[in-house]
Structure 1
Amino acid sequence: MTHMELYLIPTTGQYTTVKLPITLVSARSPLEMSDVVEKLQLSTPQIAFNGNLTFTQNQFGLQILDKNTLNSEIVFQILNYVSSEFPKVSLNWYSLAHWYTNKQDKGAFIQKALTVLEPRIKTFDGQSEIYKIMMIVFDQNELHQLQNQLNQLEIPNIAIQQSGQWYLEITSDKRTKANAVQSILNDEALDFTQIAAIGDGHNDIPLLKAAGLAIAVDNANPEVKKHVKMVVAKNTEHGVAEAISAINTLNEQVI
């Protein structure tokens, strides 16, 4: 995939240099993160839905450590509003286990190509807990208009934010990526200065600024690179592996 997760990795020498504990911090759903978690054999807590789901994954499935979902009435309100006022917008919503959309369109096709997942095509019936509504808008003016009009509705308990060039996402405002990470650090008796963060997007900047070692991949937005201490290869050219190798070297020096 061209978009990467934000990786958080403790850099203190107390950890083994053979297998670093890694946390993915993502706007994505666990379904979209599962393949990476499995390939890296990560048993550490992972963060999805912009901080509103913290979980671990093993061969038996997911263990939920913390969650914040959207109120069903609010989901109905937003889906109906966007469908009525912005019918060209690709409308998607996510439960813990499924990706839903109301129609097959360009946005759904692109998401299928990126994630190799298949959406369930249906209207929202209120029967599932929904963590995220994602709108894909290919016209920047329309995206900004949609964001402005949603903000003007002043719907309580939601966070509306752009994630990538075409994506507008709505999640609960109970958690952010930063305070979800803080909870994990508290459990491990660590602070932000003791971790490394690897990122590429605007929404990674707050955590990159807080991390003791901030790393960007080479394809990161130029604004992101202003806030890091190291730039590695593109994420499509093993940049994350290069960063982890560098962190291993630092840990060996500490030990």
Structure 2
Amino acid sequence: MKIKHIFTDMDGILLDSHGALSDTNHWSIYYSELPITLVSARSPLEMSDVVEKLQLSTPQIAFNGNLTFTQNQFGLQILDKNTLNSETVFQILDYVSNEFPKVSLNWYSLAHWYTNKQDKGTFIQKALTGLEPRIKTFDGQSEIYKIMMIVFDQNELRQLQNQLNQLEIPNVAIQQSGQWYLEITSDKRTKANAVQSILNDEALDFTQIAAIGDGHNDISLLLQIGRSAFELAISKEIKQLAIKSEFILQR
């Protein structure tokens, strides 16, 4: 069946290790006749430059499926959103700050990136995105879509994830996104759910699209695809996790 829409992750797929869009990817997508949707853990603020460069008018997916939007010269049009409960944000930020003080702790509203301190993690994010965080404590006044923790020790990352899971906080999804990143969003949406909503609007199904992804947070989407495209560098770990879920990744 002919492919009618492409859905692609950004980091490690569309963007290089420095967060840059290569000329090859830029012009390949710019001149593509197919509609293209970015499906990312990033905030729309971190996606904006790429959406603008590629002149994408289709719906875009941020925060692991919990925000769907379009972008034009007037700003963003929100099509679907799911935020974290403010009490939940207070609870998680307080817990991580006290129990894992060395972890780089960040949280995101629609328009801003916040952190409680500058550290190695925030400097890396600044280099990748070209953005500056606002340093402040959470005051409950902003709608928060994502809490992101950057952990450079894999054992500590696993321990952090296990302890957060043991808290059994309702209505949240806790998942790894990349080697160093642990992210918390609403559990109301996944990347797959968000893609399905777009397909419903376009009267398409998963057999008519190509999906490109290589991260833990892409598995929900990849499991739904009948025909997929994957970069050659897709990690063995993601293949193994997908195979355990009774889905075989084919190149």
TM-score of the superposed pair, with normalisation by structure 1: 0.81
Partner in structure 1 of residue 100 of structure 2: 86
Q: Distance in 2 between matches of 1:213 and 1:53?
A: 25
1:39 maps to a residue whose letter is K
- Aligned residue in 2 for 1:238: none
Rounded Cα–Cα distance in structure 2 between residues aligned with 1:57 and 1:210: 26
- Describe the SS at the equivalent of 2:228: strand
* Structure with larger Rg: 1
Matched, 1:138 2:147: no
Corresponding residue to 1:174 among 179, 185, 188? 188
- Separation of aligned partners in 2, 1:64 and 1:103: 30
Tell me if 1:4 matches 2:13. yes
User: Hey, what does 2:76 align to over in structure 1?
Assistant: 62
- Residues 214 and 230 in structure 2, CA contact (< 8 A), matched pair in contact too: yes
Secondary structure at 1:107's aligned position in 2?
Answer: helix
* Greater alpha carbon shift after TM alignment, 83-92 vs 213-222: 213-222
Tell me the equivalent position of 2:216.
Answer: 202
Mapped pair 1:216 → 2:225: no
Contact 1:101/1:119 (CA < 8 Å) preserved in 2?
yes
Q: 1:139 to 1:21 in 2, by over 3 A?
A: same
- Equivalent AA in structure 2 for residue 123 of structure 1: T
CA RMSD of aligned residues (A): 1.9
Change (3 A) 1:147 1:159: same
Structure 1: gaps of 5 or more residues: 7-16, 231-255
Q: What amino acid is aligned across from residue 167 of structure 1 in structure 2?
A: Y
Cα offsets for 1:191-220 (capped at 9, x unmatched): 000101122223323423432431112222
Determine if the alignment matches structure 1 residue 109 to structure 2 residue 84: no
Is contact 2:161–2:174 with CA below 8 Å preserved after alignment? yes
Task: State the distance in 2 between where 1:163 and 1:144 align.
Answer: 13
Would you say the 8 A contact 1:192–1:212 is kept in 2? Answer: yes
What secondary structure is seen at the aligned counterpart in 2 of 1:213? Answer: coil
Give the CA deviation at 1:53. 0.3
Kept in 2, the 8 Å contact 1:216–1:224? The answer is no
Deviates further, 44-53 or 202-211: 202-211
Residue of structure 1 in register with 2:49 after alignment: 35
Residue by residue over 1:128-184, the C-alpha shift from the partner in whole angstroms, topping out at 9 and shown as x without a partner, is: 100000000111111111111111111111110111111110000111111111111
Q: Distance in 1 between matches of 2:212 and 2:249?
A: 9
| Number of aligned residue pairs | 220
Q: Deviations over 1:195-253 (max 9, x none)?
A: 011222233234234324311122221355684444xxxxxxxxxxxxxxxxxxxxxxx
**CA deviation digits over 1:92-115, x for unaligned, max 9?**
000000000000000001101111
Given that 1:90 and 1:135 are in contact with CA atoms closer than 8 Å, whether structure 2 keeps it comes out as yes
Hey, what does 1:95 align to over in structure 2?
Answer: 109
In 2, Cα distance between equivalents of 1:37 and 1:99: 19
- Preserved contact between residue 53 and residue 66 of structure 1 (Cα < 8 Å): yes
Where 1:169 maps in the other structure, the secondary structure is strand
In the alignment, which residue of structure 2 is the partner of 1:14? none
| Stretches of structure 2 lacking an aligned partner (at least 5 in a row) | 1-9, 16-30
The answer as to whether partners of 2:90 and 2:138 remain within 8 angstroms in 1 is yes
Identity of aligned residues (%): 85
Q: If the length of structure 2 is used for normalisation, what is the TM-score?
A: 0.82
Note if contact 2:13-2:212 (Cα within 8 Å) is conserved in structure 1.
no
Are 1:189 and 2:203 counterparts? yes
Instruction: State the match for 1:53 in structure 2.
Output: 67
Asked if residue 152 in structure 1 is aligned to residue 139 in structure 2, the reply is: no
Aligned residue in 1 for 2:90: 76
Is 1:5–1:25's contact at 8 Å kept on the other side of the alignment? no
